[in-house]
Amino acid sequence: MQSFRTVLEDLNNPVVEKDILDLGQKIQLFHEGKIDEEKFRSLRLARGVYGQRQPGVQMIRIKIPFGRLTTQQLLRIADVADEFSDGNLHATTRQDIQIHYVSLDRTPELWAKLEQDKITLREACGNTVRNVTASAKAGIDPNEPFDVSPYAQTVFEYFLRNPVCQEMGRKFKIAFSSSETDTAFTFIHDLGFIPKLKTDEAGNEQRGFKVMLGGGLGAIPHLAKLTMEFLPEDQLIPFTEAVLRVFDRYGERSRRQKARLKFLVQELGLEKVLELAKEERKALPYQNYTIDRDILPAVTPPAYLNGSTPQVTIQDQKTYDNWLATNVFEQKQAGFYGVFIKLPLGNMNTTTARKLAKIVQNYAADDIRVTITQNYLLKYVRKESLPVLFTELDALGLAQPGYDGVADITACPGTDTCNLGISSSTGITRALEQVINTEYPDLIHNQNIKIKISGCPNSCGQHTLATIGFHGSSVKTKDKLVLPALQVLLGGGVAGDGEGLVAEKVIKVPSKRGTEVLRVLLADYEQNQLDGEYYPDYYRRLGKMYFYQLLKPLANLENLEKEDYLDWGHNDPFEVVKAVGECAGVIIDLVATLVYETEEKYQTAQEAFQQKAYADAIYHAYNTFINGAKALLLAEDVKTNAQITVMRKFEEHFGNEPTLAFAASGGFKAHVLQMKQHEPTVEFAQEYIQKAGEFLANIKAYRAQQLNTDSSTLNPVNL
């Protein structure tokens, strides 16, 4: 077996090697008690290592930019899942792949092996720019103005390890839709981009994007606001970086539930946020950024030529016809077809994954896409290959018709593995899909109704944009016994071109009655809908109270049965497990780790300067000031909620300290924010970093005086 060190050396990537070794070192320091548990949690989350409901093991989130996978990468992930996990690959609504039950101590080795095929864990979780998502059809969508895949890849690469977005107040999500159909749901993202074409005065065609800003789901959903109708493609990176800088500087950091961009937009207003973003432009490393449209390898159609595809006899013509109708579409490239693979709960075992890779190599392009509906998409399948492809997929259980239909339910893992799960989302999903498949088989063609389920209010299963949504909850009986429950939400959906509909909470019912809720809703819709009326329109025509009264009998707790006290898939009495969730990172304010972190940021600023990455060096130096100031404020028990507040309160509390005040520069805040007012030149970077180093030395001396010790002896344990 290849050793861990040998694997790292073979990567031939010093940046990645350092990152992985650093994770290993931090794990060791954590075990030795030299890094606080909360700080360590923040660090590992930014490296894709997520705490699991089961003690002693981790969930690993593998970052798959816009869901694009080669067969070799799929095989690599399967090998890693077998070696380190339980052999299951879980596709997420952000086009990631998750594996579970991994030992913390083995995560550096796991990461190194993934990197052999250029697969990363970096910034898959935590307070970072999360996986950049995009429409799975991008590149083959008959309705797309142009392929957004290179743009999504560019954004992913540019912001990976970017100092601007390493320790923000919360996560930041970016999506690219391939067309106005908006299948990437741009309206629920911090930044959403929809491709547009424009003709200039000279008659030249220009590429750009409609920009949506400030969206998000969670317990308090917000629809994104239209920011501009046309952002030229060379402004994509500068605009995104400017917005990220504003979020990093002004975003909430103490009240976790208010620490998303949507709340900053709500507090300041869209115009103010855009004004602040404009103020950041001068300091950006690029005023224009040319997108390499050829950043991704050219897609090669499958090797089989006309007449050479194996011939098969379809055994179940009805299922095949349904599969063609619901899972297959003609690409914009003549003669080729896209084929969706419907995965129940987004899960695939490694044995199936390896066989799927072989099928793709024979009949499709080497460009698999994980979809935001937790499915897979195969591209460039020839028409004559469809029968044999169906046959081979069917043998693996991967040819189930009904992609993106009523029975294709999106669901997060919920209480199976997540600390935040309240009641089972996977159990009710299986039950609902069985009801649809057995009692309403004709609905597999219906793509009007979307069912989405989360195990808690945080909407990882996207229940707040569902036509019929559920999220896990609990209810108390009059005897104060606790039952597993489902909050029912209705009326969400995609309106198109950046507009969406948020589902409304209607009523809460015991979980075991979820199947009956579905039956009642489907029967009511079938009987009372107007001709051609979509469900969201039907819901709004009749109104929330109509559906409340319709479902009210199912919420009655006076007629409980024994099974109502049990959750789906469980035989033990139900109880609400209260644990710390990690889906959004944590807020860490410990003096010991903050000063240590300040030193790290200063060292990183020096390294970036040596590499001539002057904008990055300046931003690392900026964080040296912020972290150092925050450490001293914490030592005085002064609470802060944003970086801009750190600067203001530092002046208030330390403005009379000669070594800390920066009086000659107009005060601490004015001095620190010089970084916004200068272009990132070598001269300014050198001066700014030097001042950051002096500030670091001064805060250490000040802290040493507080502790009555020598500053040279300070370390993360005794600060």
Please report, for the domain that includes residue 681, its CATH number. Answer: 1.20.120.330
Residue-level length of the chain: 719
Determine contact, residues 1/549, Cβ cutoff 8 Å.
no
| Together in a domain, 558 and 646 | no
Return the DSSP state at 217.
-
pLDDT over threshold 80, residue 422: yes
Determine contact, residues 277/246, Cβ cutoff 8 Å.
yes
| Together in a domain, 559 and 425 | yes
| 403 falls within a domain | no
Return the DSSP state at 530.
P
Handedness of CA 160, 166, 171, 174 (dihedral sign): negative
Determine contact, residues 306/637, Cβ cutoff 8 Å.
no
Lowest mean pLDDT among 18-32, 216-230, 563-577, 684-698: 563-577
| Paired sense of beta strands 174-176 and 191-199, if any | parallel
* Helix, coil or strand: residue 706: helix
| Together in a domain, 441 and 552 | yes
CA distance 416 to 101: 11
| 691 falls within a domain | yes
Structural domain that includes position 449? 410-565
Q: Which of 64, 87, 115 is the last residue of a domain?
A: 115
What are the CB-based long-range contacts (under 8 Å, 24+) for 254-259? 254/587, 254/589, 254/639, 254/640, 254/641, 255/641, 256/170, 256/584, 256/586, 256/587, 257/219, 257/220, 259/169, 259/170, 259/584, 259/587
pLDDT over threshold 70, residue 270: yes
CA distance 538 to 435: 22
CA distance 491 to 504: 6
CA distance 584 to 45: 9
Check which CATH number belongs to the domain holding 225 and give it: 3.30.413.10
Nearest one of 388, 457, 562 to 218, comparing CA atoms: 457
Q: Is 547 left (phi over 0), alpha (psi -120 to 50) or beta?
A: alpha
| 311 falls within a domain | no
Determine contact, residues 48/62, Cβ cutoff 8 Å.
yes
Q: Which two tokens stand for residue 176?
A: 């690219």
Task: Give 710's contacts (C-beta < 8 A, 6+ positions apart).
Answer: 704
CA distance 10 to 14: 10
| Together in a domain, 25 and 73 | yes
| Together in a domain, 142 and 74 | no
pLDDT of residue 187: 97
Burial, 396: exposed, middle or buried (Cβ in 10 Å; 0-12, 13-18, 19+)? middle
Handedness of CA 13, 14, 18, 21 (dihedral sign): positive
Task: Give 2's contacts (C-beta < 8 A, 6+ positions apart).
Answer: 10
| Together in a domain, 255 and 359 | no
Determine contact, residues 223/217, Cβ cutoff 8 Å.
no
Determine contact, residues 396/388, Cβ cutoff 8 Å.
no
Among 54-58, 185-189, 219-223, 589-593, top mean pLDDT goes to 185-189
CA distance 463 to 490: 9
pLDDT of residue 717: 36
Confidence of residue 719 (pLDDT cuts 50, 70, 90): very low
| 197 falls within a domain | yes
Determine contact, residues 637/631, Cβ cutoff 8 Å.
no
Determine contact, residues 170/585, Cβ cutoff 8 Å.
yes
pLDDT of residue 223: 96
pLDDT of residue 2: 61
Confidence of residue 119 (pLDDT cuts 50, 70, 90): very high
User: With DSSP H G I counted as helix, E B as strand and the rest as coil, what are the percentages for the chain, rounded to 5?
Assistant: 45, 15, 40
Backbone angles phi, psi at 182, to 5 degrees: 60, 50
**Mean pLDDT within 179-183:** 97
Neighbours of 361 (CB within 10 A): 14
Lowest mean pLDDT among 67-81, 102-116, 698-712: 698-712
> Considering its fold, how many domains does the chain have in total?
5
Task: Give 621's contacts (C-beta < 8 A, 6+ positions apart).
Answer: 601, 602, 605, 675, 685, 688, 689, 691, 692
Task: Give 666's contacts (C-beta < 8 A, 6+ positions apart).
Answer: none
* Helix, coil or strand: residue 150: helix
What is the DSSP code string of 124-164?
SSSSSB---EE-TTTTT-TT-SS--HHHHHHHHHHHTT-GG
Check which CATH number belongs to the domain holding 387 and give it: 3.30.70.3340
Q: Which two tokens stand for residue 591?
A: 């003096």
| Together in a domain, 140 and 277 | yes
Confidence of residue 712 (pLDDT cuts 50, 70, 90): low
pLDDT of residue 233: 98
| Together in a domain, 234 and 170 | yes
Higher-scoring residue by pLDDT: 425, 3? 425
What is the DSSP code string of 97-132?
EEEEEE-GGGHHHHHHHHHTTT-B-TTSSSSSB---
Neighbours of 594 (CB within 10 A): 24
Higher-scoring residue by pLDDT: 548, 418? 548
Determine contact, residues 411/470, Cβ cutoff 8 Å.
no
Return the DSSP state at 703.
H
The distance of Cα 208 from the centroid of its chain, to the nearest Å, equals: 24
| Together in a domain, 30 and 151 | no
* Helix, coil or strand: residue 89: strand
**Mean pLDDT within 487-509:** 96
| Together in a domain, 62 and 103 | yes
| 127 falls within a domain | no
Nearest one of 79, 77, 158, 150 to 119, comparing CA atoms: 77
Q: Which of 85, 115, 145 is the last residue of a domain?
A: 115
DSSP bridge pairs for 337:
330, 381
pLDDT of residue 714: 47
Tokens 């030795």 — which residue?
32
Neighbours of 444 (CB within 10 A): 23
pLDDT of residue 478: 84
pLDDT of residue 396: 97
Determine contact, residues 459/217, Cβ cutoff 8 Å.
yes
CA distance 268 to 264: 6
Nearest one of 248, 209, 197, 217 to 94, comparing CA atoms: 217
| 289 falls within a domain | no
pLDDT over threshold 90, residue 634: no
Nearest one of 336, 349, 319, 429 to 385, comparing CA atoms: 336
Handedness of CA 23, 29, 31, 34 (dihedral sign): negative
Confidence of residue 590 (pLDDT cuts 50, 70, 90): low
| 301 falls within a domain | no
Q: Which two tokens stand for residue 487?
A: 């909050």
DSSP bridge pairs for 471:
454, 487
Q: Which of 550, 565, 580 is the last residue of a domain?
A: 565
Burial, 83: exposed, middle or buried (Cβ in 10 Å; 0-12, 13-18, 19+)? middle
Confidence of residue 481 (pLDDT cuts 50, 70, 90): confident
In the chain, % of residues over pLDDT 70: 95
Determine contact, residues 449/407, Cβ cutoff 8 Å.
no
pLDDT over threshold 70, residue 473: yes
| Sheet with 174-176, side-by-side order of all strands | 133-134, 174-176, 191-199, 205-213, 225-232
pLDDT of residue 594: 80
Higher-scoring residue by pLDDT: 253, 154? 154
| Paired sense of beta strands 205-213 and 191-199, if any | antiparallel
pLDDT of residue 201: 87
| Together in a domain, 416 and 337 | no
pLDDT over threshold 90, residue 92: yes
DSSP bridge pairs for 213:
191, 225
| Together in a domain, 391 and 450 | no
| 579 falls within a domain | no
Determine contact, residues 173/311, Cβ cutoff 8 Å.
no
CA distance 21 to 44: 13
Q: Which two tokens stand for residue 282?
A: 């001068």
Confidence of residue 218 (pLDDT cuts 50, 70, 90): confident
